[in-house]
Amino acid sequence: MAADEPGHQVHVINIDIQDNHEEATLGGFLICELATILTSCEDLDNDIDEALQEFEIKRVIICAVCVFDMSVSVANKVKHPLQFTVLAQCPTTKARVGKMVLPHSEVDTPVFMPVGTQGTMKGLLPQEIEATGSKLILGNTYHLGHRPGSSLIAAQGGLHRFMKWDHGLLTDSGGFQMVSLLKLAEITEEGVRFQSPYDGSASVLTPERSIEIQNEIGADIIMQLDDVVSSTCPDRDRVEEAMHRTVRWLDRCLEAHQRKADQSLFPIVQGGLHEGLRKQCVEELLKRDVSGYAIGGLSGGESKDQFWRMVQVSTDLLPKDKPRYLMGVGVAVDLVVCVALGCDMFDCVFPTRTARFGCALVDEGQLNLSKSKFQKDFRPIDDSCPCSTCSRHSRAFLHQIATHETSACHLLSVHNITFQMRLMRRMAEAIRTRSFPEFIQQFMLKVFPEKDYPTWISDSLRAVGVTLVN
């Protein structure tokens, strides 16, 4: 119909299509529907009003149905209780500073998480842990599930209330016990059959049971149950089997998860020391809707050269807008390297375990305070450390009680955890001020004053653009 043809009325129909995929698709469908109706009109002058009325009825019905469908879709998408924002990025390395907002805490990254296996750290009260600057600590699902039992913890309102901790909590899945308690465990597709190290009783930890326990414990971040294989396992077929099973178990964990509104579930990248398997694993994990990722299956006795390369592969593939948690890493030089490689979260028993042997952490490495050379050393462990141990006690005093008195473990644990927290904050500040490469150079120079850097450290840092001082 020509607009200037005599005897015909021009009808203008406006369908407003916003910058939205669903609305644009709906608008296109309606235009096609209108064209079909108008084409069927034999006499445009007589039929056009009737045709437009028919189109309007169809438009209202179609829009109502589409709006309902979109509303249901939005309702089914639960907002993740973990919100992560990258605040600064190193222009040279892959290091970044971020903030995680959790139901119980706001956590700055990079972050080190002290390990409280059964809801406590040996020799430390929750308020003392808080004084170190810790905002996120780790509990162990396997041990808490056995003693005191997740139902008892749930009866008091969850682990936060049970241990009187007002900040963030992360629970592991119990999967690591497949390696550490392998003589007591049998792994099948169903899950892991354990013989309890406490009373010898038999039990089964399935993906569903792991999540049930973690739901009852109530940590802010929970982990999927994964099939953990030792990083030194020579059987590639077994490693590949574990990787595929980890993905299958992830789906079972996600299905079993009953507290999506206040607990974030992290999947775990597996694949051993095989780059191809780790890539394949990440590809599968990215298909699932999660709020962060863990890198597992490392720090189990593999060479450091193998270790850093698998970390590098994993962080290259994982999303930039979600936190990356490298499991089981806590030695200072490892932390500095792995922050440079793009990791945000770490945990390890190292700071408290080494305290039990009389060792204090400093930039230069460790001070074994049980050695006689500290007998008349009246300096604090670290002049720059603000912890209560350094502000009150000398190396000489700590030497007298190291490895002999339980108070030594307490005092050194306070210092060692404070050291880890300060190291994280110092790295974050260097990233924010765009001086992280220089920070790395100076830190490594303190640890290796003779510049005899291990090859793996030089190679890993060179891979992200940092050359150490020669």
Q: Which residues does the annotation place in the binding site for Zn(2+)?
A: 385, 387, 390, 415
Sequence-ordered strand ranges (E) for 274-426:
293-295, 324-326, 345-348, 359-362, 365-368
For residue 73, the SS3 value is helix
Q: How do strand 192-195 and strand 202-205 relate by DSSP bridges?
A: antiparallel
Shortest CA distance to 432 belongs to which of 98, 64, 196, 53?
A: 98
Separation CA 62–CA 69 (nearest Å): 11
Residue that has been written with the tokens 């109502």 in this structure:
64
The residue type at 290: V
Separation CA 141–CA 149 (nearest Å): 10
Q: 4: which 2 tokens? A: 């200037």
Shortest CA distance to 61 belongs to which of 29, 98, 19, 93?
A: 29
CA 227 and chain centroid, separation: 18
Residues 6+ apart with CB under 8 A from 255: none
Long-range contacts of 69-78 (CB under 8 A, 24+ apart): 70/22, 77/289, 78/260, 78/261
Count Cβ atoms below 10 Å from residue 464 Cβ, excluding itself.
Answer: 19
For residue 409, the SS3 value is helix
Residue 320 vs residues 98, 221, 260, 286: alpha-carbon distances, Å: 11, 19, 22, 12
The answer to whether 255 and 215 have CB atoms below 8 angstroms apart is: no
Cite the annotated binding site for substrate by residue number.
172-176, 226, 270, 297
Q: Exactly one of 220, 227, 344, 347 is catalytic; which is it?
A: 347
172 as an active site residue: the answer is: yes
CA 27 and chain centroid, separation: 41
Sequence-ordered strand ranges (E) for 356-415:
359-362, 365-368
Separation CA 34–CA 388 (nearest Å): 77
262 as an active site residue: the answer is: no
Using the 8-state DSSP alphabet, how is residue 299 labeled?
S
Residue 137 vs residues 144, 165, 251, 284: alpha-carbon distances, Å: 14, 9, 26, 28
The residue type at 110: P
Rg for the chain (alpha carbons), in Å? 29
Cite the annotated binding site by residue number.
172-176, 226, 270, 297, 385, 387, 390, 415
Q: Exactly one of 172, 220, 334, 344 is catalytic; which is it?
A: 172
| Catalytic residue positions, numbered | 172, 347
